[in-house]
């Protein structure tokens, strides 16, 4: 299954902000909706896209290789 536009928007917002709270403000979705979109996107690509800590999210190697984002994310 291909990722939805909303899932990609959420991914980019989280990659930029490295925070669910900030990403939810950027894309005008609740934090639970952000989490659900990320989980579904991770299911689509077959692995974790973010390494989660209590304070921040960081892109995994899979995310940078799969999505080919420019340096700095």
- Tell me how far apart the alpha carbons of residues 23 and 14 are, in angstroms, rounded to a whole number: 5
Is 48 among the domain residues? Answer: yes
Highest mean pLDDT among 18-22, 26-30, 60-64, 69-73: 26-30
Contact between 22 and 36 under an 8 Å Cβ cutoff? The reply is no
Q: What is the count of structural domains for the chain? A: 1
Is 63 among the domain residues? Answer: yes
Reported as a single tens digit per residue, the pLDDT across 43-60 is 988 889 999 887 788 888
Q: Is the model's pLDDT at 72 over the cut of 70?
A: no
Mean pLDDT along residues 14-32: 94
Is 26 among the domain residues? Answer: yes
Is 44 among the domain residues? Answer: yes
Mean pLDDT along residues 13-34: 94
Whole-model pTM: value is 0.80
CATH number of the domain at 11, please: 1.10.10.10
Q: Mean pLDDT, the chain, as a whole number?
A: 85
């Amino acid at each position: 299954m291909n990722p939805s536009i909303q899932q990609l928007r959420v991914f980019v917002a989280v990659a930029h902000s490295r925070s669910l709270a900030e990403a939810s403000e950027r894309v005008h979705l609740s934090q639970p909706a952000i989490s659900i979109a990320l989980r579904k996107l991770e299911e689509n690509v077959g692995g974790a896209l973010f390494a989660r800590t209590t304070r921040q999210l960081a892109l995994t190697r899979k995310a940078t290789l799969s999505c080919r984002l420019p340096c700095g994310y």
